[in-house]
Amino acid sequence: MEHSRVIDMVKENKDVFTLKFDSTLTARPGQFLMIWVPGGREIPMSLSNLSSPPSITFRTFGETTKTLSQLKIGDRFYFRGPYGNSYPVPSGKVAYVAGGTGLASLNSMILTYSGDVFVGARTKEDLFLLGDGYHIATDDGSLGFKGTVIDMFAPHVNEYDYVFVCGPEPMVKALLDRVKGNARSKIYISLERLMKCGVGICDSCSINGFRVCKDGTIFSMEEVLRMTEFGVYKRTESGKIEFFTNGKR
């Protein structure tokens, strides 16, 4: 466990925060940390910025992220990592497809390799970390395209050589169902699952024997298509199978 200090806390929107901390860690785009709030839980968080200073960007879902958002400048910040693999180096035309907090994970790539960014959120108020020229989709149409980011992006998939995707599993599943492995582009997807250890030994994040924390978080579309469990069910904290509500694959 390392510790450093909070350098800055930026409120990105009503419930998304960017926490910058004082550390000389070296990480590659797409890697994540296990963040610890002493006395509270330890949770996985992507690095939204890799260095000088590094940062995480998170939505206040529940208790732990809420406590995190209440840290003050100078407060101690605890983490281990970085963990996980990273996005491959792209060439040609690049697209980024983000749903929800998935943009946090993609952000360090976007800052490094230019490309078209497609972002989806429920409403305008849920957006954050936006840059010039981003293609926006909102479920309620309050900004940009009305519908999901997949609805917006899918028709354009074959315009790109590299596509990097990060978002909720059902969203990614929707993209795969549309593309069905026939895209000419190389598609890489950063997955999210419940994570307890972050270092590949507890098995809580595994999908068909692939550990999201260690074999991933980033997988090629071909790998994800071989995961028969993907988009069908996930595991609860007990390891029990829980089906996604939008039905079986």
Ligand X SMILES: Cc1cc2nc3c(=O)[nH]c(=O)nc-3n(C[C@H](O)[C@H](O)[C@H](O)COP(=O)(O)O)c2cc1C
Among 29, 49, 53, 58, binds ligand FAD (CB under 6 A): 58
Residue 65's binding partner among other proteins, ligand X, ligand FAD, none (Cβ under 5 to 8 angstroms by kind) is: ligand FAD
Q: State the Cα angle at 148 between 142 and 150, rounded to 5°.
A: 145
CB contact set of 90 (below 8 Å; sequence gap of 6+): 113, 115, 161, 162, 164, 186
The answer to whether 97 and 159 are in contact (CB under 8 A) is no
For residue 10, what are the β-bridge partners? 18
* Shortest distance, position 58 Cβ to ligand FAD, whole Å: 3
Q: Does 70 bind other proteins (CB under 8 A)?
A: no
Q: Are 30 and 42 in contact (CB under 8 A)?
A: no
Bridge partner list, 116: 95
Task: Tell me which residue has tokens 């309620």.
Answer: 140
| Contact flags string 9-48 toward other proteins, x per CB under 8 A | -------------------------x-x-xx-xxx-----
In the bound complex, what is the minimum distance in angstroms from residue 108's beta carbon to ligand FES? 21
Out of 10, 89, 111, 201, the only residue in the binding site for ligand FES (CB under 6 A) is 201
Considering CB under 6 A, how many residues would be counted as binding ligand X?
2
Q: Which residue is nearest to ligand FAD (CB)?
A: 62
Distance CA 211, CA 194 (A): 11
Question: Of these, 18, 101, 185, 206, which contacts ligand FAD (CB under 6 A)?
Answer: 101
Residue 137, helix vs strand vs coil? strand
Contact region for ligand FES (CB under 6 A) — 58-66, 131-139, 160-168, 197-205?
197-205
Residue 224 parent element (H or E): helix 221-226
Told to check if 208 binds ligand FES by CB under 6 A, we report: no
Size of interface with ligand FES, in residues (CB under 6 A): 12
Size (the chain), residues: 249
Q: Residues 186 to 225: which contact ligand X by CB under 6 A? A: 201-202
CB-based contact 111:103 (threshold 8 Å): no
Site for ligand X in 119-138 (CB under 6 A): none
Residue 206 C-beta: closest distance to ligand FAD, Å: 12
